[in-house]
Copies of this chain bind each other. A is one copy, B any other.
């Protein structure tokens, strides 16, 4: 994800001293409520990212003015103190990087600061502050873990199994979840696990029969596209024999086991039908159907964990009713088994399109890919080596960069300048894989590197689409095994896809790998379109690049933080984000459950509704 070298290059005592001095000055300014002094400790171009610890929000402010604004609003009530380096500070290329811990009035945090010299003084270039736990509500881990056995003899003993059964029987009838999480994929499960540890009554609901079915039900050759070091869930790491790229059924089994082992409250076979907020009662009314029976749930907080990809985007194409073959969106594609010897046309040229084309070809179908606009492709091996290797790899683990540490390093890189760190990695990939790209383009494939050459991960953060991590299917296009056609769809005839230029592509199967709309589409369906508009577009940074319109937002729109719809939250993303951001979302929910004051700094305004 990043090309920045965050492994120690030198561990000079003076780097340590410089970090301690800066932290000490910062703490003094904050203790004295001297906002100008605090702001003066930042460089002219600087970024402070706070995850919940000062702001009860996920916020990045920029420059001294941003720092002043944040502190003016939050300093008094945050009451920060006890800034201390937490491991040896390093210095590399003039940048001092220091890990630290700190406290606020209500919690304990951790952070990472990068110092540069400006006019001979150490100034913060980037600062990350992140809440780790709430005082008095620490998780029962390590020395705080539960004892389990209740020693002594008592006639009213209830066992763990008794209590689990009582909870299961009462939840949704005599007791209500404080937090209802809709969607039981990795996002919902990770959040459910954290809320269990924080003792917040929660419930995850999912329409599938079993946890993990979100993965099981997909095409058979699917494997994770991200490597194992990037994919751990909270609390329980994959064992060190776990494959680099886990097959879908294996990850599905893991998720199912995880739900049980982490005691995530989870209803399978349960679909949310409608939801409405009662201002008067201060709660949601959510109608669900569990095993075909209606149940009404009344949570205080409603969390959508329905997939950051959101609702399938199915273009309105004339002739859908005339076409005599099978036609479906990629998300509903059952896999290739029924299509050996058949003619398949796949509309689209991103991840799903490539994966589906590859699987159809492997199964003996005659496959045509219709590319409508350019796509960015990177080879999986190169992405591992040049994109992720410093943070998420066996070599990172060996260098002491645990997944948790990697997450914080990554979180400490401001979105505003992240593309600058990304560009060199993709330049490197263009160089080492030149033959590959030459062949692809020789076959007529429209390839791009993102609007500013920053590659895959920025595309993911900005628009969540427009790329393919190549695990082999790109070669099928390059060598002509999968036919490539360019153009826009005009209509379907009874046995063909007809393009705008009149080209007819005979087809027994048409797959629309045409992507997804914003997550707030789910809100429109479940609550109402007004609430969806009030919430606004989800995901994206406002980078003013393709499919990510400005203005600049500073953070991902509406994800894991307070939205303009009270008591409504959006959770999603890949396994990394599900793991990392579920902590901050869980702490926000816990604070509200405990009745703590949680004034939100800089609630993000809505600039787009879809």
Chain A residues proximal to chain B, CB less than 8 Å: 139-143, 145-149, 151-155, 157, 159-162, 164, 197, 220-221, 223-224, 228, 235-236, 239-247, 249-250, 253-254, 256-257, 260-262, 358, 361-364, 380-381, 394, 471-473, 475-476, 481
The 7 closest A-B pairs by CB, nearest first: A148-B243, A149-B223, A149-B245, A160-B247, A257-B257, A152-B472, A148-B245
Q: Is the CB of A161 within 8 A of B472?
A: no
From the candidates B142, B153, B254, B481, name the one contacting A394 in the complex (CB within 8 A).
B142
Q: Which residues of B contact A246 (CB under 8 A)?
A: 148
Q: Is the CB of A358 within 8 A of B153?
A: yes
Closest residue to A140 on the B side, CB-wise?
Answer: B241
Query: In the docked arrangement, what's the CA distance between A363 and B153, Å?
Result: 10
Q: Which residues of B contact A161 (CB under 8 A)?
A: 220, 247, 249
Contact A394 B241, CB 8 Å, known A160-B247, A471-B149: no
A235 to chain B, nearest CB (A): 4
Q: Is the CB of B262 within 8 A of A475?
A: no
A96 to chain B, nearest CB (A): 28
Q: Is the CB of B262 within 8 A of A239?
A: yes
Interface CB pairs A-B, < 8 A, 12: A140-B241, A145-B244, A148-B246, A151-B472, A152-B475, A154-B362, A155-B363, A157-B362, A161-B220, A164-B249, A235-B240, A253-B260
Query: In the docked arrangement, what's the CA distance between A473 and B152, Å?
Result: 6
Q: Which residues of B contact A256 (CB under 8 A)?
A: 260
**Copies per assembly:** 2
Q: Which residues of B contact A145 (CB under 8 A)?
A: 228, 240-244
A321 to chain B, nearest CB (A): 34
Query: In the docked arrangement, what's the CA distance between A119 and B603, Å?
Result: 77
Q: Which residues of B contact A380 (CB under 8 A)?
A: 149, 151
Closest residue to A225 on the B side, CB-wise?
Answer: B149
Given contacts A141-B241, A145-B241, A148-B245, 17 further A-B contacts (CB under 8 A): A145-B228, A147-B243, A148-B243, A148-B244, A149-B224, A149-B245, A149-B471, A151-B471, A153-B472, A153-B476, A155-B363, A159-B220, A160-B249, A235-B239, A235-B241, A239-B261, A257-B261
Q: Is the CB of A240 within 8 A of B141?
A: yes
Contact A149 B247, CB 8 Å, known A141-B240, A159-B221: yes
Query: In the docked arrangement, what's the CA distance between A253 and B257, Å?
Result: 9
From the candidates B153, B236, B381, B471, name the one contacting A361 in the complex (CB within 8 A).
B153
Q: Is the CB of A157 within 8 A of B221?
A: yes
A124 to chain B, nearest CB (A): 32
Q: Is the CB of B250 within 8 A of A160?
A: yes
Closest residue to A254 on the B side, CB-wise?
Answer: B261
A155 to chain B, nearest CB (A): 5
* Most B C-beta atoms less than 10 A away, residue of A149, A228, A247: A149
Query: In the docked arrangement, what's the CA distance between A228 and B362, Å?
Result: 47
Q: Is the CB of A148 within 8 A of B471?
A: no
Q: Which residues of B contact A244 (CB under 8 A)?
A: 145-149
Q: Is the CB of A143 within 8 A of B394?
A: yes
A497 to chain B, nearest CB (A): 23
From the candidates B155, B476, B481, name the one contacting A362 in the complex (CB within 8 A).
B155
Query: In the docked arrangement, what's the CA distance between A249 and B236, Å?
Result: 19
Q: Is the CB of A197 within 8 A of B143?
A: no
A529 to chain B, nearest CB (A): 40
A344 to chain B, nearest CB (A): 15
Query: In the docked arrangement, what's the CA distance between A153 and B221, Å?
Result: 10
Contact A236 B239, CB 8 Å, known A152-B475, A153-B358, A223-B149: yes
Q: Which residues of B contact A197 (CB under 8 A)?
A: 241
Query: In the docked arrangement, what's the CA distance between A604 and B513, Å?
Result: 67
Q: Is the CB of A153 within 8 A of B475?
A: yes
A133 to chain B, nearest CB (A): 13
Q: Which residues of B contact A243 (CB under 8 A)?
A: 145-149
A256 to chain B, nearest CB (A): 8
Query: In the docked arrangement, what's the CA distance between A394 and B145, Å?
Result: 10
Q: Which residues of B contact A148 (CB under 8 A)?
A: 223-224, 243-247, 250
Query: In the docked arrangement, what's the CA distance between A473 and B149, Å?
Result: 13
Closest residue to A259 on the B side, CB-wise?
Answer: B257
From the candidates B155, B240, B254, B475, name the one contacting A142 in the complex (CB within 8 A).
B240
Q: Which residues of B contact A257 (CB under 8 A)?
A: 257, 260-261
Q: Which residues of B contact A261 (CB under 8 A)?
A: 239, 253-254, 257
Q: Which residues of B contact A146 (CB under 8 A)?
A: 241, 243-244
Q: Is the CB of A139 within 8 A of B241?
A: yes
Query: In the docked arrangement, what's the CA distance between A500 and B502, Å?
Result: 104
Q: Is the CB of B155 within 8 A of A364?
A: yes
* Most B C-beta atoms less than 10 A away, residue of A153, A224, A236, A358: A153
Query: In the docked arrangement, what's the CA distance between A149 and B359, Å?
Result: 13
Query: In the docked arrangement, what's the CA distance between A381 and B151, Å?
Result: 10
Q: Which residues of B contact A155 (CB under 8 A)?
A: 361-364
Query: In the docked arrangement, what's the CA distance between A582 and B147, Å?
Result: 28
Q: Which residues of B contact A260 (CB under 8 A)?
A: 253, 256-257
A506 to chain B, nearest CB (A): 22
Query: In the docked arrangement, what's the CA distance between A366 and B441, Å?
Result: 85
Query: In the docked arrangement, what's the CA distance between A151 and B468, Å?
Result: 13
Closest residue to A219 on the B side, CB-wise?
Answer: B159
Closest residue to A252 on the B side, CB-wise?
Answer: B161
Q: Which residues of B contact A394 (CB under 8 A)?
A: 142-143
A323 to chain B, nearest CB (A): 27
Q: Which residues of B contact A157 (CB under 8 A)?
A: 221, 362
Q: Which residues of B contact A471 (CB under 8 A)?
A: 149, 151-152
Q: Which residues of B contact A149 (CB under 8 A)?
A: 223-224, 243-245, 247, 380, 471
Q: Is the CB of B481 within 8 A of A153?
A: yes
Query: In the docked arrangement, what's the CA distance between A381 and B228, Å?
Result: 39
